[in-house]
Amino acid sequence: MTSFRGSIILLFITLTSFSTKSAAQENRNFTLEELIPGGNDYFRFIPRISASYQWYGNRLMVTENDTVWEVINPTGRNSKKMWLTFDDLSSDSLFGEQKVIRLAFQEEERDAAILTTSNGVATFNPKKKKIETFFNFPEKSDNQTLSPSGRHLAFTESNNLYLLDSEGKVSTVT
Which phi-psi region, left, alpha or beta, contains residue 116 (left: φ > 0; alpha: ψ -120 to 50)? beta
pLDDT in tens, 98-119: 677 778 887 766 777 888 887 8
Burial 114-131 (b: 16+ CB within 10 A, else e): ebbbeebbbbbebeeeeb
Question: What is d(CA 60, CA 117) in angstroms, rounded to the nearest whole number?
Answer: 23
Let me know whether 77 and 148 are in one domain: no
Most confident of 15-24, 126-135, 155-164: 155-164
Let me know whether 89 and 160 are in one domain: no
pLDDT in tens, 39-57: 677 667 666 667 888 888 8
Q: Which domain holds residue 124?
A: 50-134
Closest among 174, 83, 84, 138 to 121, alpha carbons compared: 138
φ/ψ of 13, rounded to 5, equals -65, -40
Query: Please, which pLDDT band fits residue 156 given cuts at 50, 70 and 90?
Result: very high
* Domains held by the chain: number: 2
pTM: 0.59
Query: Please, which pLDDT band fits residue 161 given cuts at 50, 70 and 90?
Result: very high
Residue 160 covered by a domain: yes
Let me know whether 97 and 173 are in one domain: no
Amino acid letter at 132?
E
pLDDT in tens, 56-77: 888 888 888 778 888 887 777 7
Residue 65 covered by a domain: yes
